[in-house]
Amino acid sequence: MNYQQVIEEVYQEVQEKNLRGKVATYIPELASVDPNQFGIALVDLEGNVYGVGDYEVPFSIQSISKVHTLTMVFHVFKSKLWSRVNVEPSGNPFNSIAQLEFEKGIPRNPFINAGALVITDALCSKFEHATKQVSDFINELAGKTCVSINPSVKNSEKNHGERNTALAYFLKAYKNFDNDVEEVLDVYFSHCAMELTCVDLAKSFSFLANDGYSIFAQREIVSESHARRINALMLTCGFYDEAGEFAFRVGLPGKSGVGGGVAAVMPHKFSIAVWSPELNEKGNSVKAIQALELLTDKLSFSLF
């Protein structure tokens, strides 16, 4: 399979469509990113890297980091974690307070903001220096030191974080939050403000294409069973309230972020990261979604 040729074709076809969206403006720092950037990196299970476009430019991974943080606590809390957060698609905006109240403080899944705050709270219970541990973990998965936290993006999120703060106190009111709210929010904003290139992001997801074993960290990250469950969550909940559409059009487990990135895996084949900052109305990258749809069509791969 000539992956390089395929991703170059995909890149060219997406560029020719001249798709437009809007960069995320509710985090002011993200609004200033050049909207025309577009990169694709694919990593196979031998560790070969194929890239095109702006695939070596670092960008803000935002909610994609929620997969990394979930992985870090998945096996530690076992079934207790799933009494604190559910595994159902939300069908509502990712920062909905109404849904959290209706469901009595148990977030619908780990990838909406309330669920990710519960996961970050669990991280803070487990690790004394949680932000450093997340950075170290992603660096290990990528096989090199590559994570940086953009202080401007972090501060931008913090200064416009009223809704996340409200969600955290809501969780606290329902006794689903163990640590200091401000401390957990600081870790949460930090991991959302982490920056990676498409190559390093794809490498960091490689273990999910490989039954839980990372060829870059050279160890089992999670069991095969846990890797399957994380992939199932990504497929059903990884794209805000557009997860069904993504499964229908693309058919790969993945996770998007409002920085314009998407990381996805084809189990037993490859991991891939695509980035372009302009988003559709659901908060997913217009070009990245189109690129992944074209890719699975060309390769005739999907889970289905």
**Could you read off the pLDDT tens digit of each residue along the chain, which spans 304 residues?**
899 999 999 999 999 999 999 998 878 888 899 999 999 999 999 999 999 999 999 999 999 999 999 999 998 777 788 999 999 987 777 778 888 989 999 999 999 999 999 999 999 999 999 999 999 999 999 999 999 999 999 999 999 899 999 999 999 999 999 999 999 999 999 999 999 999 999 999 999 999 999 999 999 999 999 999 999 999 999 998 899 999 999 999 999 999 999 999 999 999 999 999 999 999 999 999 999 999 999 998 777 7
Q: Write out the H or E segment, with its range, that includes residue 43.
A: strand 39-44
Q: Measured between alpha carbons, how far apart are the two ends of the chain, in Å?
A: 20
Residue 258 annotated as binding site = yes
Domain membership flag for residue 124: yes
Domain membership flag for residue 26: yes
SS3 assignment for 206-249: HHHHCCCEECCCCEECCCHHHHHHHHHHHHHHCCHHHHHHHHHH
Residue 45 sits in a domain whose CATH number is: 3.40.710.10
Q: Write out the H or E segment, with its range, that includes residue 34.
A: none
Tens of pLDDT, residues 100-115: 989 999 999 999 999 9
Domain membership flag for residue 141: yes
Domain membership flag for residue 253: yes
User: How far, in Å, are 7, 90, 150, 221 from residue 269 at the CA level?
Assistant: 15, 29, 32, 18
Domain membership flag for residue 247: yes
Residue 135 annotated as binding site = no
Question: Which residues have a Cβ under 8 Å from the Cβ of 171 and sit 6 or more positions away?
Answer: 100, 105, 107, 114, 117, 118, 121, 177
57-74 per-residue burial string, b: 16 or more CB within 10 A, e: under 16: ebbbbbbbbbbbbbbbbb
Bridge partners, 51 (sequence order): 41
Domain membership flag for residue 37: yes
SS3 (DSSP) at 141: helix
pLDDT value at residue 91: 72
Residue 256 annotated as binding site = no
Decide if 200 contacts 208 (C-beta within 8 A). no
> Which residues are identified as catalytic?
63, 66, 188, 240, 258
Q: Determine the Cα–Cα distance for residues 64 and 111; give it in Å rounded to an integer.
A: 9
Q: Determine the Cα–Cα distance for residues 145 and 128; give it in Å rounded to an integer.
A: 21
Q: Determine the Cα–Cα distance for residues 138 and 142; give it in Å rounded to an integer.
A: 6
Count other Cβ atoms within 10 Å, centred on residue 10. 24
Residue 139 annotated as binding site = no
Q: What is the pTM of this model?
A: 0.96
Q: Where on the phi/psi map is residue 289: left (φ > 0), alpha (ψ -120 to 50), or beta?
A: alpha
Which residue shows structure tokens 């059903």?
Answer: 236
SS3 (DSSP) at 181: helix
Q: Determine the Cα–Cα distance for residues 290 and 10; give it in Å rounded to an integer.
A: 9
pLDDT value at residue 1: 80
Q: Write out the H or E segment, with its range, that includes residue 52.
A: strand 49-53
Residue 223 annotated as binding site = no
3-state helix, strand, coil in the chain (%, to 5): 50, 15, 35
Question: Which residues have a Cβ under 8 Å from the Cβ of 33 and sit 6 or more positions away?
Answer: 23, 59, 60, 259, 260, 277
pLDDT value at residue 97: 87
pLDDT value at residue 80: 87
Domain count, the chain: 1
Domain membership flag for residue 304: no
Question: Which residues have a Cβ under 8 Å from the Cβ of 36 and sit 6 or more positions away?
Answer: none
Structural domain range at position 46: 3-299
